[in-house]
Structure 1
Amino acid sequence: MITAFWGQVARVPFAEVTAFSIIWEVGCNRATFYYYFDSVDNHALRAVAASVPVEIIDLMERLLGGAVAGVHLDAHTRSAVERLCLLVGDGGSPLLISHLKELLQQVWVRRFDLDTTREDVQAVTAFMASGIVGILGQFAGRPCDALFDAHLATIGRVFTGPALEFAKGIPPQA
């Protein structure tokens, strides 16, 4: 059902995806859909959560640490990113965009053990999540190719590295 959801979002705006359209495409009945999901929104939220490419964090760490010269997403990660681009473009949903931002913040907080009781850390992670969503929106409906990789590398070097250093309490380097 998740695959059917992404296929539909690639063809029509999220607002046009219904439980019936998913059921029809998958070939199951309403009871099966509602056994697993409370609603289309619930289904979509779970699909987004399953598509957040946490592998990008490892790649960014290697980039910022100098272990790699650039960003090159593997096919699985690229596919996940392209799915997320669909949700932040014109056919997306404020609910799903907000959820994606929250998920990105949660991933960074867990991965880097950030202190979310600090208002400034909350502001930095919110800024970073909004920036990533903005980049995803630029690629909505377009392939996330080498140009996307270049944008991601630039964002990593210019914003992500310094923002994480600040959030972790490390003084920025001059």
Structure 2
Amino acid sequence: MARPRKSERDAAGIRLANAFWTLLEHHRLANITVGMVAEQAELNRGTFYYHFKSMDDLVDRVIEDEILGNESVMQNAFGLIAGSSTVDSLETLINRKTDRFALLINQGGMDLFSVKIKRLVFATWKAILCDDGEELAPNTRLIIEYSTSGIIGIITYGARHETESTSPEFFLSFVKNNSEFLVSQIGIAQGIPRDAVLERVRATLRIAGMNDR
């Protein structure tokens, strides 16, 4: 039997991810199984394991896609830092993405969401700021922890208090101010000039194809 073409593999992976999000609307994360995801996607378990090692791997991948993937909030937040994204584009994304973040928190728990998000954010900033063999400075880690916790806190509040949900305008303003704070402080903490931080962010966006708008 011929192996599926790349486009077919990609399409199956997207179907599995979409199936996961559909199931999460009605089930606790801990209760969702590989079989449920495969059935919802109308695929077999073998196809699931072709794309993902386990349910944990699927969860990691869908969160990574929401945070770092094409047209993600972080992508546009970095674009806002670098001057290649607009406030309007970020507002559109925030309105769309925060619903999924809230769903993860409500169905999977705050601890899981927070740990996975922070791990991705730290890894991204390390790739931007550090040369091979270097580590983020302690003060840099503190700044990233502070800024990331603030954004997660706003999302969490909205997820747990739907009738008092934070307005998109406030969240947008927070992300914008948070980005400016990072640019002004993170270079100082890491010992890198502000302009150099901006250029590294722009280079990351170019490499990832994030500026192809």
Please give the range of the TM-score, normalised by the shorter of the 2 chains: 0.7 to 0.9
Quote the offset at 1:139 in angstroms: 2.6
Q: Is the 8 A contact 2:19 2:40 kept in 1?
A: yes
Match of 1:35 among 46, 50, 59: 50
CA RMSD of aligned residues (A): 3.2
Q: Give the corresponding residue for 1:90.
A: 106
Quote the offset at 1:56 in angstroms: 2.6
* Alpha carbons of structure 1 residues 155 and 27: separation in structure 2 relative to 1, 3 Å: closer
Quote the offset at 1:123 in angstroms: 1.1
Unaligned stretches of 5+ in structure 2? 1-15, 195-213
| Runs ≥4 residues deviating over 4 A | 74-77
Q: Give the corresponding residue for 1:15.
A: 30
- Whose radius of gyration is greater, 1 or 2? 2
Aligned to 2:167, what secondary structure does the other structure show? helix
1:115-130 to structure 2, matched below 5 A, reads 116-130=135-149
Distance 1:71 1:132 in 2: 18
Query: Whose RCO is larger (CA < 8 A, sep 6+)?
Result: 1
* Alpha carbons of structure 1 residues 76 and 130: separation in structure 2 relative to 1, 3 Å: closer
* Alpha carbons of structure 1 residues 147 and 76: separation in structure 2 relative to 1, 3 Å: closer
Unaligned stretches of 5+ in structure 1? none
Deviates more, 1:36-45 or 1:102-111: 102-111
- When you count helix as a share of all residues, which structure comes out higher? 2
Distance 1:11 1:79 in 2: 19
Distance 2:155 2:120 in 1: 15
* Alpha carbons of structure 1 residues 34 and 155: separation in structure 2 relative to 1, 3 Å: closer
Q: Give the corresponding residue for 2:185.
A: 166
Match of 1:137 among 156, 159, 165: 156
Q: TM-score, normalised by structure 2?
A: 0.63
Distance 1:25 1:137 in 2: 28
